[in-house]
Structure 1
């Protein structure tokens, strides 16, 4: 075993993508074992590797970790991306949970029936600019630092950049009214580990294509 974390998931974004982002931001190389069929998922279940019968699953430090939040918390703490004290950690958790709610709205829209898909996505994108991005613009303004919490990179910054770039795939002008978020995006995109992850050929996954959805559904259902 190489000692690298091993990520078990489909070859798509989904709930594993924030984990890929966080490891990459921490400068940690990882391996991926993709689930190609329903049988691949069933094998992980029957081997007893999935505590709650679901992926993502990450092999790290001798553990087979499941539950996205638990995995992300562990990685953030292990690689010093979780603030310097309990108060900073609480702020990071608040911001990250807000982004998780938004990401869920956007991700869910892709898997809606055709007649509901556009409506769900439009609703999610409306909330981006009316509810979520104003919060982070204000946080940056009030905090007066380059980062959301303290004055060093944390998981909150990594997840915010991931969210901004995902939103811009659907709504390229999403940051038009948020100058501090525009600066934040430019700044964090140039952090060496993150810049590397944004290059072609990295483990970062592209948006899910319409034609891929039936295959993904077949694995999980």
Structure 2
């Protein structure tokens, strides 16, 4: 394929990844189950943690699965067509970032989305399943020990690129571009938790299962 064809194919897949990531399962699930819009209570964040504050664990679980699945699907599509279209690793990495940013800044919700934890996990699952497993285990351990979802997310975001870096060429094939893209995702995720960090430092952060 010509360089122009590779460029336009990459651009189209990046846009597609962003649009897939922009689908808000928190809003969709809440509407389908007759629940209050997650943007109208608690943290006003359209994510699984805020949906859980309604007390409906099924809705929260469906939101979590949906947000993770869209991240996985977006990157999986790109990975499937990349060899046929001769796409570079940069196209895959940017598509991964686009899917994540779609959740964080969704065009369908006027660019006001969630923190992106579940979607980021889905992206990692598509890129490297063992990396996703290690990152998810880190989240679970911290969440179980502290009952702070935000703290668990921040710690997992810090460790994800480190896992990829040190596991490279041992548990999986290392790629510098993909590593940098994971760093970008982690950095944005941590930034999105800046308010949570402030509340954690002052002891005002709500715990998992609690109400704001």
Query: What's the TM-score, normalizing by structure 2?
Result: 0.36
| Between structures 1 and 2, the one with greater helix share | 2
Q: Give the number of the structure with larger relative contact order, counting CA–CA contacts within 8 Å between residues 6 or more apart.
A: 1
Indicate the structure with greater strand content. 1
